[in-house]
Amino acid sequence: MKKFYLLPLTAVFALVGAVSCDKTPSGQDEQPDPVFEISENAIQATADGGQYEIPYVLVNPAEDGVLELTSDVDWVSDPDYSSKEGAIIVTVAPNYESADRNANLNVTYTYGEEGTVLEDQLVLHQVYQYDVNIETGNFSGGYFYGREEPQANYAIYLTDLGTDEYGTFLPGCTVYRLDFRAEGEPEDWTNITIPEGTYTFDVLDELTSFYGKVNADGTAWETTAYITDCTINVTRDGDNTVIDGVLTIDDKIHHVYYEGPAKADLYSAEGIGLSARDLELVGTHLSAKPSYVDDNGEVMIISLNFAGTPENDDFANPYVQLFIELYAPYDSREILPGTYTIGDSQEAYTMYPGYIDPATLYCFGTYAYDSENYVVNVALAQEGTIEVSKDENDIYTLEINLKTVFGNTITGTYVGELVVPNIPGQSFSTLTDDYTVKMDEIDYCFGSYWGDEFGTGGGHFDWSMEGPFEQNPDQVLTDGTGEYVEFDIVCNSLDYHAGISSGTYTVAENPEAPKPGEFIPGTRSTTGMNTLEGTFYTGAYEGGYVSVAAPAVGGELEVTNHGDGTYTLKFAFEDGMGHIWDGEWTGELSFMDWTWLLGAPEKSRPNYVERRMAPDVEAEESSVDNAAELRSMIKTLPSL
């Protein structure tokens, strides 16, 4: 029979032991010659191997006699000459070949000064009883945190060829996936090992445990089949783990053996790789701006994105990106300073805990991406705080101290601007500093009178003041610069012919019902047209839209009516973003009385052009969408 060997055949080795011999019986003048022979001509060993006895007969043992066993194979080892009288015990390794095999054993008994040798031989025959017998050399697998029965909390892959650097099985790879349940959580989240013991089919997940063979080009499964029965023994000696399993697959018996390191990775219940190390946010803030999500009038949700900068945009380097779902007191201008604490109440000064949506497998809440060597794990923040402070120059400092459920930290410090755009009620100002309007360039004024339109007892006046600008026939503003101010007030008088009452006008407490002596603040319509209304300034146009603008949301307008149709206007308005726009002008103002035309639309006024801001569009994506790229690299279990 042809022989196959798991390990290379080595030189014949000696297994040596000594047997003490009885002295010559008293009264006898000489010792009879020893007689030695092996009792059996052959020994049958099972595929599982184990310890086997080689029985022998030794008559008249010599005082200096020595037993010695040699073998022509290396899968028979560790002879024991003394544990049992009349037998040599040897250890036979399991048969992971693909056929039966034989070992030729030679036993000698040597004695006397001349080294007389008594010799005998036998054949040890080891059967091969499995349909498939494979020693796998590659282990990968994971522990699923948070899974409950009947789901498996361990999943392991035993393969002969393994995977590439991206976790894809290599072409022609033989794969055994074993999903099973084991009691208790890992003692060390950074070094998760499979608990020792015997695992039978009742703890296996029948729907996900399978055998597969990858096709030659590595693009699909060539064959797959579910496991229908199994017994898997797991033993460990230090860092060395032995996994020895007998599996039933398609009515065939597979014997699968693995020996080596068997550290399991950490995964969420949904199969997303989780980080189990401390993370530190370093580098620059990569997101252009925080994002407004929603509000209920008292609390607003703000999404923050912070990232440490990878070297040369190389995500193979250690790289941390942090996402925060922040619940802040509603403020149309800013994130208010304070201590924000992880919690699920969705109250002000909280951050929502990190979680994975099982439907989309996307992360939400407060979490970090931990990227290294093109593999991304997720750290879900479950407790901790962020201290938010701001100086007189609107520079924020954020001290981040978060923890995951495994006790790992997410820390870092951010110093810089945190301007949140598109909060409802937020100023649409584009000013970056205080500005004085060039009122000396104004060469056109036109106003309207609407009577007691708001029912608050005052006369409603609005008027436009603008410098030279070109206008297309279809009343679309031409690109360029041009000073323009829109005033919208309610004065004390209802006498159209008397004009605007002299006085100091302040911002309306209720813009829907402004009172006499108040100006209506500047707003941008929420209908999607982005039309500017109320009291505001514009200074440039691009593509038919306003590109420079500032509303009046505070401050004062001082009006002096000279009684001859001329007025002096002095104003200093707040833009809602910390800037002042002001100016002064003296000249003639004229108004048209529209009270006779009930409900006359403003567009009916002659030479009127609506001023609109450009539609809101998301900022142009960078050449590399960090979040999307990292999300695509999130660690999952090996696959095709």
* 219-230 pLDDT, tens digit each: 999 999 999 999
DSSP notation for 506-539: EE-SSTTSPPTTEEPBPEE-SSSS-BEESBEEEE
Task: Check pLDDT > 90 for residue 318.
Answer: no
Cβ neighbours, 10 Å, residue 58: 18
Q: What is the pLDDT of residue 324?
A: 94
- Structural domains of the chain, ranges and CATH numbers in brackets: 13-126 (2.60.40.10), 133-268 (no CATH), 279-416 (no CATH), 435-604 (no CATH)
Tell me the mean pLDDT in the region 592-619. 62
pLDDT tier for residue 312 given thresholds of 50, 70 and 90: low
Q: What is the pLDDT of residue 476?
A: 67
Strand partners, 462: 448, 488
Q: Read off the pTM.
A: 0.66
366, two tokens: 């407060």
pLDDT tens digit string along 120-156? 999 999 988 888 889 899 999 999 999 988 889 999 9
Distance CA 150, CA 515 (A): 68
Distance CA 245, CA 256 (A): 5
Question: Which amino acid is residue 207, in one-letter code?
Answer: L
Distance CA 102, CA 3 (A): 7
The DSSP 8-state label assigned to residue 407 in this structure reads S
Angle subtended at Cα 336 by Cα 333 and Cα 340, rounded to the nearest 5 degrees: 140
Task: Check pLDDT > 50 for residue 20.
Answer: no
